[in-house]
């Protein structure tokens, strides 16, 4: 493998999806040489000019193939008398790097918490249990592994509530076309449980916090070896896909030191170090922000908004792990918007326009102000041009499907289940269109 001329330590970004692209651009624009590993070099993010692409077979599986490729790249770096800086961008690749860190440390600089702490971020159930033990703000949560009494849970829980698998197995994916279901009554929860539990026994049942997508917010930081925060940032979602339960499609930076500090306190409390994000949602019933998710050891989906608003977290990570001087960064510009061009178009078309939550005019106005994009960039046009081609192709295919199916949303969940069971699952699926969803996610 020929990596060409390398005048300084390269960053090795694992994944060239939208998440990886944000890290590549943040580092490349700062003059850091970047190697981007992925198996799909045709995707939009792989069209960036800011990194040298390295093909890694079976990258998406995050296992032995990725380790072998990293060792191969590491051997080449060793011939340059260098060690790279690994920047994971997804759960599977950060898990592999963490679990096999002893094999990678001869070749790379790593910024990770202990294996035990990293496992907490990857195991949502373990994180929830620890959060309950530590008294962190969390919606009331129950688990169905081992002894449990669904009738007692149904009597005690507040509605609406969600029921979802801890980790969806193959049977779940084959049976259900959604990640979770919502119940608005004890009777509905029991009916859903009777349908779901025979398919997947390891479930999480949790009180759902009503409220629109803008109530979902983040605190983002980077903690050094002594758990000192080198960065503090806060932001919130405006829209997400699927609406109510997905990943951000439109987000905005916030001037909210309290939110940023709350995230830091939680991350320090679990023993984290390195890059960390805690997602919260404000519960309108009591006004408190409660944890919905925590991410550590890897970049997070809309992280390029942090760079655009004034804190270059990937560069800070790179410098810290190399022992270079890093000044703590807590000042940034609030009101910067981040837009995922593909996904926001999809969520607006599927939810917000049909439900009359937006008009074409208010949709366009929602983009007002300073912006950054998942793909579009004047100094790096390749990813956007590739993405635009995919959107046009997807649009043509969607029109064809709509012409073939009178009720396209129902068509996607058709099965051999009796009609009354199909109606129950459709009513409880928060990701389908408003016409089929019985329970409001607001």
Confidence at 404, pLDDT banded by 50, 70, 90: low
Q: Dump the DSSP string for 215-246.
A: GEEEEEEEE-TT--EEEEEEEEEEEEESTTTS
Residue 60 and residue 95 in contact, taking contact as beta carbons nearer than 8 Å:
no
Name the token pair of 211: 């409220």
Identical fold between 11-110 and 138-207: no
For residue 90, give the 3-state DSSP assignment: coil
Comparing 78-82, 358-362, 425-429, the range with the smallest average pLDDT is 425-429
147-195 pLDDT tens trace:
889 999 999 999 989 999 888 878 888 888 788 899 989 999 999 999 8
Give the pLDDT confidence score for residue 398 in this predicted structure: 65
- 34-38 β-sheet, strand order: 52-55, 34-38, 11-14, 84-88, 108-109
Confidence at 436, pLDDT banded by 50, 70, 90: low
Per-residue pLDDT at 434 exceeds 60: no
CA dist., res. 80 & res. 69, Å (int): 17
- How many Cα atoms sit within 13 Å of 39 on the Cβ side? 10
Share of the chain above pLDDT 70, in %: 90
- 181-183 β-sheet, strand order: 141-143, 203-207, 161-165, 181-183
Q: State the pTM of this model.
A: 0.89
- Which whole number is the average pLDDT over 318-346? 95
Per-residue pLDDT at 412 exceeds 80: no
Confidence at 410, pLDDT banded by 50, 70, 90: very low
CATH 3.30.470.20 at 213-373, yes or no: yes
In this structure, CATH architecture of domain 11-110:
3-Layer(aba) Sandwich (3.40)
Give the pLDDT confidence score for residue 175 in this predicted structure: 85
Comparing 32-36, 63-67, 333-337, the range with the smallest average pLDDT is 63-67
> What ranges do the domains of the chain cover?
11-110, 138-207, 213-373
Confidence at 413, pLDDT banded by 50, 70, 90: very low
More confident residue, 120 or 418: 120
Per-residue pLDDT at 233 exceeds 90: yes
Per-residue pLDDT at 74 exceeds 70: yes
In this structure, CATH architecture of domain 138-207:
2-Layer Sandwich (3.30)
CA 194 to chain centre: 30
Residue 20 and residue 59 in contact, taking contact as beta carbons nearer than 8 Å:
no
- Which whole number is the average pLDDT over 327-340? 96
Closest Cα to residue 197, out of 207, 209, 205? 205
Per-residue pLDDT at 304 exceeds 50: yes
Give the pLDDT confidence score for residue 420 in this predicted structure: 61
């Amino acid at each position: 493998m020929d990596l060409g001329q390398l005048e300084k330590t390269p960053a090795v970004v694992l994944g060239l999806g939208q998440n990886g692209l944000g890290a590549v651009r943040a580092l490349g624009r700062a003059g850091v040489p970047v190697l981007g590993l992925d198996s799909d070099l045709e995707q939009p993010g792989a069209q960036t000019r800011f990194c040298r692409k390295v093909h890694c077979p079976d990258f998406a599986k995050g296992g032995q193939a990725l380790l072998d490729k990293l060792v191969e790249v590491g051997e080449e770096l060793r011939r340059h008398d260098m060690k790279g800086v690994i920047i994971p961008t997804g759960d599977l690749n950060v898990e592999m790097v963490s679990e096999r860190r002893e094999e990678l440390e001869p070749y790379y600089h790593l910024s990770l918490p202990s294996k035990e702490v990293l496992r907490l971020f990857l195991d949502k159930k373990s994180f929830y249990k620890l959060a309950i033990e530590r008294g962190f703000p969390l919606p009331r949560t129950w688990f169905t592994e081992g002894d449990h009494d669904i009738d007692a849970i149904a009597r005690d829980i507040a509605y609406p509530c969600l029921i979802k698998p801890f980790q969806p197995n193959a049977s779940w994916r084959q049976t259900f076309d959604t990640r979770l279901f919502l119940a608005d009554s004890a009777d509905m929860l029991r009916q859903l449980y009777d349908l779901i539990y025979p398919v997947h026994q390891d479930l999480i049942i949790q009180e759902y916090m009503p409220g629109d997508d803008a109530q979902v917010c983040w605190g983002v930081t980077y903690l050094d070896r002594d758990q000192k925060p080198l960065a503090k940032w806060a932001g919130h979602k405006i829209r997400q896909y699927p609406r109510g339960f997905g990943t951000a499609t439109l987000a905005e930076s916030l001037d909210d030191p309290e939110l940023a500090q709350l995230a830091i306190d939680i991350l320090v409390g679990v023993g984290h170090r390195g890059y960390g994000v805690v997602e919260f949602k404000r519960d309108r019933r009591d006004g408190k922000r409660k944890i919905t998710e925590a991410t550590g050891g890897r970049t997070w989906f809309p992280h390029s908004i942090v760079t655009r608003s004034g804190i270059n977290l990937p560069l800070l990570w790179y410098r810290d792990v190399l022992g270079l001087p890093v000044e703590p960064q807590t000042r940034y510009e609030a009101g910067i918007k981040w837009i995922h061009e593909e996904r926001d178009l999809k969520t607006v078309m599927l939810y917000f326009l049909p439900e009359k939550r937006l008009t074409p005019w208010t949709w366009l106005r929602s983009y007002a102000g300073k912006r950054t994009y998942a793909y579009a960039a004047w100094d790096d046009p390749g990813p956007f041009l590739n993405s635009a081609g995919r959107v046009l192709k997807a649009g043509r295919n969607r029109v064809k499907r709509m012409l073939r199916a009178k009720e396209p949303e129902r068509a996607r969940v058709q099965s051999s289940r009796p009609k009354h069971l199909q109606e129950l699952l459709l009513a409880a699926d928060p990701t389908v269109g408003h016409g089929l969803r019985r329970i409001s996610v607001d």
